[in-house]
């Protein structure tokens, strides 16, 4: 009887170990996968954020605060097509984002075009690696999060979405203008690279693909600028 009871106890312990390991795997594995393959940066408007959008007299929500979103005044420059091949500068353009110093550098060849403070991911990390801008939007809406983390931001200006093989286009990470905070130099985003609107407006006009309207996709004849993101954001 004692041997049978001992054998039964061993089986029960074995089953408990298997159950515990399986439970931990179910919890940990998705976390590892999500770190390797980031979720959508804007969880509530993932696909919508990839499209041009403007709303008049809109109200934004960020950090439990309601504020007026700036109206987007579209000009002829925003809507007219651009003739490709008119840029005579053959120097390669490259954008670098240093997460450690929260600083963006834009180079044209060896010449520094821009250096400015940014805000990277606070609630979700900004992905690191080498990327390419694949679409530029003059404006869009971004929303996501839950509870105190909820945000709804219409009229996000001068948006440049980037991607690579690990971070797909559908994840919605981008460089874009920011009107809901002025805390640049510190992480403040949900994964995107926040920039001062005055700075990103210049970067948007400078970076490729060359804008040919309110929405511009990169192509073989209009390649996107390379973006390299590196370092570790401060806590």
Contacts of 88 (CB under 8 A, 6+ apart): none
pLDDT in tens, 38-81: 568 898 888 899 999 999 999 999 999 999 999 998 876 777 66
pLDDT in tens, 191-226: 999 999 999 999 999 999 999 889 999 999 999 999
In this model, does residue 105 exceed pLDDT 60?
A: yes
The residue that leads in pLDDT, 2 or 79, is 79
Mean per-residue pLDDT over the chain, rounded: 85
User: Across residues 152-167, what is the average pLDDT?
Assistant: 97
pTM: 0.81
In this model, does residue 29 exceed pLDDT 50?
A: no
Q: Which residues are catalytic?
A: 176, 192
């Amino acid at each position: 009887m004692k041997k049978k009871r001992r054998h039964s106890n061993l089986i029960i312990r074995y089953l408990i170990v298997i159950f515990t390991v399986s439970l931990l795997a179910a919890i940990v594995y998705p976390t590892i996968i999500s770190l390797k393959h980031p979720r959508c940066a804007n969880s509530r408007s993932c696909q919508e954020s990839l499209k041009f959008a403007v709303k008049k007299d809109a109200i934004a929500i960020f950090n439990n605060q309601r504020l007026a979103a700036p109206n987007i005044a579209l000009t002829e420059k925003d809507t007219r097509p651009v003739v490709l091949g008119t840029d005579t500068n053959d120097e390669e353009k490259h954008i670098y984002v240093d997460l450690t110093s929260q600083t963006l550098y834009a180079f044209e060849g060896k010449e520094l075009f821009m250096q400015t403070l940014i805000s990277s991911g606070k609630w979700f990390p900004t992905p690191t690696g080498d990327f390419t801008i694949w679409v530029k939007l003059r404006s869009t809406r971004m929303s996501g999060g839950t509870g105190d983390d909820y945000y709804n931001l219409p009229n996000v200006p001068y948006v440049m979405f980037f991607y690579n093989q690990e971070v797909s286009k559908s994840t919605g990470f981008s460089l874009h203008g920011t009107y809901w905070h002025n805390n640049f130099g510190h992480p403040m985003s949900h994964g995107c690279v926040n920039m001062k609107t005055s700075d990103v407006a210049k970067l948007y006009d400078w970076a490729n693909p060359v804008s040919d309207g309110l929405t511009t996709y990169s192509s073989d004849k209009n390649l996107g600028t390379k973006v390299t993101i590196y370092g570790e954001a401060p806590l």
